[in-house]
Structure 1
C-alpha cells in the first residue's frame, strides 16, 4: 500500500493578500510515491473581482477567467517570464469563462455569455484573440477536449446539466450521461474522461470510456464536492474547505486529508488544475471572511451603497440578537441604508476589535452618526464569498 503524507512548505514566498471575491493560487508540486509537497505559493490573479477556472496551456503557462471593467475576459499568465500577463480576449458585449487549450491548435475554447443572455462555446486565437462561434443551439456549461474535433461537454437542460459527446466535423452530438457536475478531466494513462454523477444523493466520480462510451463509478466525491483533479492514473485530489484530500482509487481506501492551510487567505478551495508533467498545481480560493467583512465596512464608511451591497448575498438575513429577524435580501438592505447614507455626512464606524473563527466574523464597533456615538457588536456569517447573515447586538 502506498502511503501519501503531505507537507505544505511555506518558507520562501508569502501569500499575497486576496482583495475580493475569488483568487487563484499557484504552487510548485512534487508528487512522489510517499509524499505530496506544495512549495513556492503565488497569488497569480491578485485582482478585485471574479478570478476562476484555471487551466494549463502548457507546463509553464496558465489561463483563467478574470474580471476587468465589470466584464470577465481570459487572461494568460506566463509562469517562467516573471509572471507576465497577457489578455487573450476583450469582449465588450459578453464575458468568457472556463477556458481550455484546443489540442494541436494555437487556440483556446471558452464559454461566452453575452449581455443578452446568449451562452455559446467560442474558439479564440491565442495570438490575436480572433473569435468564432463553434457550436450553435447548445447551451454548453463546461467542456473537455478528446481531440481537436471532438469534445465532451455539459449542456444545460432545465434544472440540470447533461453530458454530451460532440463531433465538430458534422456538428453531431450524443447524450452519454444525465445530471452531471462541472468537473471534467482526462484520466491520466487511459482513454477515459471523468465526470461528476449527481443522480444520487451521494455524488460520485464516474468514468466515461471514449472508445466504448461505457461508464462506471470510480469513487464517491468528498462531501459532494464536485471539484476534483487527477494527480496520476490512480490518485484523485479535491478541496476540503481550507485543505486538500487525496484518494487512491485502486486501493479504494477513501479520502485522506493531506494538507490544511492555516493561512486566512485560503478559504473554500475549488477548481483544481495540474499541468501535464505534474510539476505545478493551481486552485481557486474564495475571499477570506475577514476580507469580505472589511469590504462592507469600508463601503459603509464611504457611504457607497453599491459597494456596501456587493458584500452581501442576494438573500442575506439580518437579525437582532438572539434570533429576531429584521429583514431579508439586498432590497431590504438598500431600503434601510441608501437614504441613511445620503443624509448622514458624519457617519463613521470605527472597528475596536475583530474575531475571526471559520466563516464567522465578530466585530466590536463604535458607530458615529448625527453627532452621536454608540457601541455595537455585529456577527457576520459568510457563505460562498458573501455575507449571508448578520446578527446585531446593542
Structure 2
C-alpha cells in the first residue's frame, strides 16, 4: 500500500492524495453592455471532500468530479431544476476532468486506477474506452471531434496535440499549466506557458501548430475561461479578474466575493450562452470579530496606487481600537491624507476614516466619517463593507477598496503593500 501511494503522488499530483476540500459554485452571469454582473450564487456540489473540474456538457448541464464512498466519480448537474445524476461508478479507479466530446453525447475523463495506471477514457452509455494508451493525460480539451489538446504529465509537463484519426501525437510546447480552452469564434486553443519570471496565456493553432502570446496571466494564476466577446476571466483568492486582449493593458477586478463563504478560487468556466458561470473554491472558516484576530494589519506599509506612492501605518490593538494614518504622494507631492480606525463596536468591528487634502483640510464635515462595517474575519482576511484586507504573508498585504465611479459603476482598486 505504501508503494502504491508513492506511485500515485509521482504520476498524478492532481489526484486523491492531499486533495483540498473544494466545492462547485454556480452563478447567473450577465454581460450586457460594458458591465459584467455575477449574481445568485449557490453551492451545487454541497459535498464533503473533493468537488472540482466543472465543465458544461450542454447549455444547462454541468459535469464535475465529486468524491463519494472513497472514490471520485463524474456527476452531472441540471441548472434548470438542480437535479444530479451520477454518470460513473468505477470500482477499480476514480475519474477526473470530465469534458464533453463535440457533436456527440459522450464525454471523456481522466481515470486513475487503483493499480496506479492513468489514462484518458471515452464514456458512452455507462461503457468506457481508452483513448490515448501511451500518454498520461492530466487535463485536456477537444478542439474538434477528433482533435485533442492535452496537458501530459512529465518533467516538465508537455502540451500535446493528438489527431485521433491518424493516431498522431505531437509535442508543441513544454512547462505548461493545466488550463486548456477553445478560444471563442476561432479554431484556436489557449494554454498557459509557465516561464520562469512570468506566466503567459498563449494561443495554439492545432493544424499549423503555431503558437502566439496573448497576454500575461494574473501573477502566478493559471485557471481561466473565455467569454463570448473574446475577453478572459481569472480568479485569485476571493477576487475575479477581467482582461480583454483587444483593448486592455492590465487586469481589472470586476467582482470581489466578499459576502460569499468561500475563498481560493481555482477552476472557472461559463456556458456558450454566457449566462451561467461556474467556479471552484474552498469553503472558508470565519473567526471571532476581535482585533486580536487582525493584529497582522499592524505595521508600516508602503506600496503604489493611483499613479503614486502610498504609505499606511497601523498601530497594534490597544484600548479597543487600532489606528492608522495614510498618505498618497504623486509626483513628489502629497495628494491627500487619511486617518483610519478599527474599533470594537457592538460585538463586531467598525472601520472609520476621514480624508484630508494636503493642507489638512477635511473632505468630510466636522462630525462625518466614512464607515465600513465588518462582514467577517477569516484566517488571512478582514472583510469590511467596501474594503478588504488580505494578508499574503507576514510582510505583504493587499487592501481592496470599492470606489464609486462617475458612471455609477464600482471599481475595485487593489493596494499592494510591503511592510517596512
Give the alignment's TM-score, normalised by structure 1: 0.68
Matched, 1:176 2:172: yes
RCO higher in 1 or 2 (8 Å CA, sep ≥ 6)? 1
Q: Which residue of 2 aligns with 1:69?
A: 69
Q: Paired residue for 1:266, among 262, 267, 283?
A: 262
Q: Which residue of 2 aligns with 1:316?
A: none
Q: Paired residue for 1:152, among 149, 153, 156?
A: 149
CA contact (8 A) 2:158 2:174 kept: yes
Say what the alpha-carbon RMSD is for the aligned residues: 2.3
Moved over 2 A (4+): 355-362
Matched, 1:199 2:195: yes
Matched, 1:225 2:221: yes
Q: CA–CA distance in 1 between the matches of 2:392 and 2:75?
A: 28
Aligned length in residues: 280
Secondary structure at the residue paired with 2:248?
A: coil
Matched, 1:211 2:199: no
| Offset from partner CA, 1:132-157 (integer Å, 9 cap, x none) | 11110100011000111110001111
Secondary structure at the residue paired with 2:267?
A: strand
| Offset from partner CA, 1:94-120 (integer Å, 9 cap, x none) | 110001001111210000011121110
Matched, 1:277 2:273: yes
Matched, 1:129 2:149: no
Q: Which residue of 1 aligns with 2:8?
A: none
Q: CA–CA distance in 2 between the matches of 1:195 and 1:41?
A: 28
Which has the larger Rg?
Answer: 2
* CA displacement at 1:250 relative to structure 2: 1.1
Q: CA–CA distance in 2 between the matches of 1:112 and 1:74?
A: 10
* CA displacement at 1:360 relative to structure 2: 4.2
Q: CA–CA distance in 1 between the matches of 2:53 and 2:33?
A: 28
| Offset from partner CA, 1:49-106 (integer Å, 9 cap, x none) | 10000000111100000000010000000111x2110011101111100010011112
Q: Which residue of 1 aligns with 2:235?
A: 239
Q: Which residue of 2 aligns with 1:88?
A: 87
CA contact (8 A) 2:286 2:378 kept: no
Deviating more after overlay: 175-184 vs 232-241: 232-241
* CA displacement at 1:234 relative to structure 2: 2.8
CA contact (8 A) 1:290 1:361 kept: no
Q: CA–CA distance in 1 between the matches of 2:213 and 2:378?
A: 33
* CA displacement at 1:252 relative to structure 2: 3.4
Q: Which residue of 2 aligns with 1:140?
A: 137
CA contact (8 A) 1:193 1:208 kept: yes
Q: Which residue of 1 aligns with 2:49?
A: 49
* CA displacement at 1:42 relative to structure 2: 1.6
Secondary structure at the residue paired with 2:214?
A: strand
Q: Which residue of 2 aligns with 1:359?
A: 379
Q: CA–CA distance in 1 between the matches of 2:190 and 2:49?
A: 30
Q: Which residue of 1 aligns with 2:102?
A: 103
CA contact (8 A) 1:289 1:361 kept: no
Q: CA–CA distance in 1 between the matches of 2:42 and 2:260?
A: 15
Instruction: Assess, with a 3 A threshold, how the Cα gap between structure 1 residues 21 and 214 changes in structure 2: closer, same or farther.
Output: same
Instruction: Give the helix-richer structure, 1 or 2.
Output: 1
Q: CA–CA distance in 2 between the matches of 1:175 and 1:134?
A: 17
Q: CA–CA distance in 2 between the matches of 1:382 and 1:62?
A: 33
Q: Which residue of 1 aligns with 2:186?
A: 190
Q: CA–CA distance in 2 between the matches of 1:65 and 1:183?
A: 16
Q: Which residue of 2 aligns with 1:299?
A: none
Q: Which residue of 2 aligns with 1:39?
A: 39
Q: CA–CA distance in 2 between the matches of 1:53 and 1:26?
A: 13
Matched, 1:116 2:136: no
